[in-house]
Amino acid sequence: MLEVADFSLERECCGVVAGCDEAGRGPLCGPVVAAAVIFPSFDIDIPVVIRDSKQMSAHQRAVAYDWITQNTIWAVGECSAAEIDELNILWASMRAMERAVAGLSLQPDMCLVDGNRVPKNLIGRAVVHGDARSLSIAAASIIAKETRDKIMRELADKFPMYGWDKNAGYPTAEHLRAIEKYGITEHHRKTFGPVKKCLLG
């Protein structure tokens, strides 16, 4: 049975609360994208499904994305493949979250961050499985995933052979075969195993 995210964690905090999450830690290419979301009230009526984006259909995510972007304060931040190679994926994810929070038009007093670590430049609380527990984090997970998927669809128009519009850069059989056949692009993460293997020949 799916956990139902609510505002219980947000209500435990004082002041303005932002939920933070990221998308794209596992793919072989493209940026890692983070989002930060602030709800205007914890008593707001939410007429759409908002939960862990991985537990939602594409249609549900699209509908939720439209509602969230129209009814909350939100921002996204990203780190490029080159930054991921420089920092490693963990620290690039942290930096993307910092950029997302910095981009908010209202700065939060507290950030609820999905996972077990809070970026060093944020005042916050790490929440394991937070996207299944906090509506703010779940909303951020939806914004991050929808934003990253759009980026990968746009990149797929330039590099159609890799199937990024369908696999979002993850190491599917199709993507791995394309890397073997066509090599890599500037959008591939050179420190990730299958890409590094291609570079080493």
Scanning the structure block, which residue is given the tokens 């490693």?
Answer: 88
Report the chain's terminal Cα–Cα distance, integer Å: 46
Is the pLDDT score of 54 beyond 90? no
pLDDT in tens, 122-153: 999 999 999 999 999 999 999 999 999 999 99
Confidence of residue 2 (pLDDT cuts 50, 70, 90): low
Q: How far is it, in rounded angstroms, from Cα 56 to Cα 54?
A: 6
Q: What is the pTM of this model?
A: 0.96
Structural domains in the chain, sorted by start: 8-200 (3.30.420.10)
Q: What is the DSSP letter of 37?
A: E
pLDDT per position as a tens digit, 65-103: 999 999 999 999 999 999 999 999 999 999 999 999 999
Main-chain phi, psi angles of 27, to 5 degrees: -65, 160
Q: Grade residue 6 by pLDDT with cuts at 50, 70 and 90.
A: very high
In the chain, what percentage of residues exceed pLDDT 70? 98
Enumerate residues 6+ apart whose C-beta is below 8 A from 173. Answer: none
Q: How many CA atoms, within 13 angstroms, populate the side-chain half-sphere of residue 119?
A: 26
d(CA 22, CA 102): 15
Strand partners, 79: 32
State the residue for tokens 């890409």.
195
Look at residue 201 in the predicted model and tell me its pLDDT: 66
